[in-house]
Structure 1
Amino acid sequence: MDLNGVSAVVSGGASGLGEATARELAANGVKVVVADLNEDKGKALADELGGVFVKTDVSDAAQVEAAVQAAVDTGAPLRIIVNSAGIGWAERTVNRDGSPHSLETYTKVIQVNLIGTFNLMRIGAAAIAKTEPADADGLRGVVVNTASIAALEGQTGQLAYSASKGGIVGMTLPAARDLAAIGVRVNTICPGIIDTPIYGEGEAAEAFKAKLSAPVPFPKRMGRPSEFAHLVRSLVENDYMNGETVRFDGGIRFQPK
């Protein structure tokens, strides 16, 4: 699919993987709606890219509808939905002190990561369905979701996170089959250890990142957000990629701890 002249909604678009994706799409002619809770960073990025910022809690239907409508209102046909908003959490099913995993935090992670992804996918795809086909195959748009290799090899303490990301992987193929009728492709990326601002800055942060990336077979480093964004673009542009879950991890396989 040709990117130039279309619009996109990128959740979690104010930083990290979402920011890199927003930059990549905008650089290739896409009008980007940055959907994020961080108003300062989101507005600054949208202004820089000539896009639109909409404060968005992805688990809130009304806010997601507003973000999707903002893309429609740009006048450029909405063709791309990228789900990259998410939160992390570490807690054992039964903690060392004998207490059970918090139900509140488990529910929160599922609500944001899994239900939030479904929320934007369903509302975004419904809006894409109203556009005219972009090619002779009847393609109208593309959804790219972000899971994690923790969905496949969850480590100790990643129960909630792995469940949420595993749910995203699990709905990829049925969503692609559902949305085939309206000409929408769906693919999911499972990133490994990516160098985002979540790890902080400074000597201690660099030492921690070096430890994290040590088990990566090749290249022997963390992934870059720009590389993730390039993969998103590839999945959008390659018209035969559909219903797939793609590992993006340098070949690493998570051990229990």
Structure 2
Amino acid sequence: LERGGAEVVIADLPETDVTDEEAVRSLVESCDELHGAVNCAGIGGGARVIGFPLDRFRKVVEVNLIGTFNVLSLAAAKIAEGEPDEEGTRGVIVNTASNAAFDGQIGQAAYSASKAGVAGMTLPLARDLASKGIRVVTIAPGPSDTPMLGPMRDDIRESLTSQIPFPKRLGRAEDFASLVKHIVKNEYLNGEVIRLDGALRMGPR
């Protein structure tokens, strides 16, 4: 987006707590104008159901789902203050779900629930914000080379990669960025959840 001429503000954890309403409000209000937001904050937290600490489950949902809603709702309010273009568009919000929202594996109950929530609210959000000229689209990436994936043994990485039909590699930040750019430019794309996973469908483990 920056290379395309947009002014980009990055709010990164732990610098910005997406679950803190006032912290996010302060960040949003620091912008003279706002035309979009890309919600990427997220945490993992894999564990089996029996013995899964409730606080841990709650934390994953709080960051991934409630944090996403907190950012998008405050961003939408700021975007709505702007002047629309000739087609009535004021901006776009891109949220991040996961292929785990659809293909959750053993140990991913909290993560899958949180990301399924992000996917599930996409259409209601798009319908709600349509009157403001704000589009909402969600990207559901597969396994990607990001800090969330963490250090991974070579054999596990190879096994995971072998399950991806094509291209046979993990996702890259550039793949995500390229799709965000397309979403921003394509003004007819709205209310949709787009899988970005090389046609991967995860097994139970």
TM-score, L = length of structure 2:
0.96
1:183 equivalent in structure 2: 133
For 1:129, give the aligned amino acid. Answer: A
Tell me, yes or no, if structure 1 residue 88 matches structure 2 residue 38: no
Alpha-carbon contact 1:199-1:209 (below 8 Å) kept: no
Distance 2:180 2:7 in 1: 16
Q: Deviations over 1:80-129 (max 9, x none)?
A: 111000000111211xxxx3x21100110010000000000000000000
Distance 2:128 2:42 in 1: 24
1:130 equivalent in structure 2: 81
Distance 2:156 2:49 in 1: 25
Aligned positions, number: 205
Tell me, yes or no, if structure 1 residue 197 matches structure 2 residue 153: no
Q: Structure 1 pair 82/174, CA: closer, same or farther in 2 (3 Å)?
A: same
Q: Which structure shows the bigger proportion of residues in helix conformation?
A: 1
Distance 2:196 2:164 in 1: 11
2:175 equivalent in structure 1: 227
Alpha-carbon contact 1:121-1:143 (below 8 Å) kept: yes
Structure 2 residue corresponding to 1:116, chosen from 67, 72, 76: 67
Q: Structure 1: where are the runs of 5+ without partners?
A: 1-24, 39-54
Tell me, yes or no, if structure 1 residue 33 matches structure 2 residue 18: no
For 1:123, give the aligned amino acid. Answer: L
Shift of 1:184: 0.1
Shift of 1:200: 4.9
For 1:132, give the aligned amino acid. Answer: E
Alpha-carbon contact 1:32-1:71 (below 8 Å) kept: no
Alpha-carbon contact 2:43-2:148 (below 8 Å) kept: no
